[in-house]
Structure 1
Amino acid sequence: MSSLPATVVYQQFEEPVSDLSGLLGKHIIYTYSNGWEYEIYYKNSDTVDYRVRSGLVGGRVVKGQKVSIKQLQTTLPSETIEGSDRETSMYMISWVEPTGTSVVQVLNLNRREVRRVILFPDWVMKEPL
């Protein structure tokens, strides 16, 4: 008995429009629990400039890094901060550097939190600069 392949229906999804006005133009300095410190400037909807202030590749400065920036839709309620209600402002920024390093950053601006995953190629770990 042979079975027929299942019919697959593809549905086109439209990407929601991201409102990046709460992020663009911001300059942020942050330090991770391991002591690594970074500084980043969200220049426009597809570009950041950043400097590694300390850590494995401390001293590295990158200008004009192309990125993907998306506003995240959350189920978190609006927060009351400093006496005013504000929508939760969360963004995901991702990029791949010419070195092969991949970065994904999630920002919650209301809570002043930065979460990041950095995947370094093996050669960067062996010879950071």
Structure 2
Amino acid sequence: MSTESLNDIAKDLSAFVGTHFVYTYDNGWKYEWYARNDNTCDYRIHQGLVGGRWVTHQTMNAVQFAPGIYKVDWHEPTGTCVSLLFDIERKIIHGTIFFPQWIAGENQHPEKTICYQNEFIDDMHRFRDEGPAYPYVVIPEFARVTYMKNEGPDNDAVISMAPGQLPDDFFEGK
């Protein structure tokens, strides 16, 4: 297969864009994520270190890694980097979060990020710049998808309110 063919495959996000996922990591953290379009995502964190945080229109890089397997990466205004690998067929996700020290390190302050980030971008930049950033706290985890539905691209109704609005059994696939 030529490099050009690989690039064509990687750019085909048609089966991924518009998909809404609800999932729970093996460590118990509960997340919700939406592929808004081919270069932005929305998400809510229902439980975990930064449970209560939510973001819309987060710029991301997305590729189709193989048929039914998609990889997305982004860098947040907080200094956090995220990489997610979605295996649609098996309904699993592998996520790696690279938290700066100020969020997840020895003198952590994750509570500063628990908000609707879009309304506090300047604050997130200030917290990031005040640091410390290094060494990053790297958290790799697998997650099981309990809900997956294509809601169409650029659907503002998918992630439209703060976390905590879903019943607990939603994360159990009911």
TM-score between both structures, scaled by the size of structure 2? 0.57
In the alignment of these two chains, the number of paired residues is 103
1:37 equivalent to 2:30? Answer yes
Looking at structure 2, the residues matched to 93 and 109 of structure 1 have their Cα atoms a distance apart, in angstroms, of 13
Gaps of 5+ in 2: 112-174
Looking at structure 1, the residues matched to 56 and 86 of structure 2 have their Cα atoms a distance apart, in angstroms, of 20
Among 37, 42, 46, the alignment partner of 1:49 is 42
How far does the alpha carbon of each residue in 1:82-119 deviate from its partner, in whole angstroms, 9 at most, with x for none?
xxxxxx40011000000000000001101101001001
Q: Which has the higher contact order (CA 8 A, sep 6+)?
A: 2
Match of 2:93 in 1: 114
More helix by share: 2
Among 72, 76, 99, the alignment partner of 1:97 is 76
Asked which structure has the greater CA Rg, the reply is: 1
Gaps of 5+ in 1: 1-12, 74-87
Match of 1:127 in 2: 109
Among 2, 8, 16, the alignment partner of 2:7 is 16
What's the CA shift for 1:121?
A: 0.2
What's the CA shift for 1:21?
A: 1.0
What's the CA shift for 1:22?
A: 1.0
TM-score between both structures, scaled by the size of structure 1? 0.76
Question: What secondary structure sits across from 1:43 in the alignment?
Answer: coil
% identity of equivalent residues: 42
How far does the alpha carbon of each residue in 1:40-77 deviate from its partner, in whole angstroms, 9 at most, with x for none?
1100000000000100000001011000000013xxxx
Among 48, 56, 66, the alignment partner of 1:63 is 56
Looking at structure 2, the residues matched to 16 and 99 of structure 1 have their Cα atoms a distance apart, in angstroms, of 31
Match of 1:78 in 2: none
Question: What secondary structure sits across from 1:63 in the alignment?
Answer: strand
More strand by share: 1
